[in-house]
Amino acid sequence: MISEKQGQMLLKMARTSIAEELGLPVDKMQIDLDQFFLEIKLGLFVTLHKNGALRGCIGVIEPVESLKTGIGKIARLAAFKDSRFAPLTRDEFDQVDLEISLLSRPEKFEYGTAEELAQGLVPFKDGVIIKKGSRQATFLPQVWQQLPDAASFLSQLCIKAGLDADEWTQGGLTVHTYRVHLFSEKK
């Protein structure tokens, strides 16, 4: 797995990528880009928080490219292309904390009833992907902090996917779960 020191390196790479996009001066950090772990392909999300509130979050569930290639790209997308927010400004740059979530490979979650689904999820540990037809959405495990009960979590996830809030009680959802290895600038 990725060490804390390596995770801090990824955070620096993400922050540097955003700073460069903003045209801000960047301390050229000493990063050995040949380190083996940077070649690993993992699902990856970058989240920005400003004063404790979400300020941007974008990622990829399936591993598409190496951490070396993907970290800067995803960080810039989270900062400038999350459709829920205006692009990050120079003035905000020093006010945001970055968080990187490295995802395990999603596993299909087998369930029969809505009760089995709600009771089978592990709050604060499971990231959840739901899919029905062409609609799909995910919540990282960190979302459990705002929605600590499974019913609320699943209802809001359905809404995020463009489904009715109670769709998870009707059956017919494909559900996958995953775990994350989390690195954060916030202490």
Per-residue pLDDT tens over the stretch 86-110: 999 999 999 999 999 999 999 999 9
The mean predicted confidence, pLDDT, of the chain is 93
Same domain, 146 and 58: no
At 31 the pLDDT is 62
pLDDT for residue 29? 61
Once rounded to an integer, what is the mean pLDDT over residues 116-127? 96
Query: Which percentage of the chain shows pLDDT scores above 90?
Result: 85
CA-to-CA dists, residue 30 to 12, 16, 61, angstroms: 10, 12, 29
Same domain, 86 and 160: no
Range of the domain at 158: 107-179
Q: pLDDT tens for residues 11-61?
A: 999 999 999 999 998 876 666 656 788 889 999 999 999 998 999 999 999
Does residue 119 lie in a domain region? yes
Helices (H) and strands (E) in the chain, counts: 6, 8
Q: Which of 86, 103, 120 is the last residue of a domain?
A: 103
Pair (51, 81) in one structural domain: yes
- Domain CATH for 46: 3.30.700.20
Point out the least confidently predicted range of 15-29, 62-76, 169-183.
15-29
Write down which residue in 52, 70, 103 finishes a domain: 103
On whether residue 185 sits in a domain, the answer given is no
What's the pLDDT band for 171 if we cut at 50, 70, 90? confident
Sole residue written with tokens 């205006």: 86
Identify the domain boundary among 77, 103, 129: 103
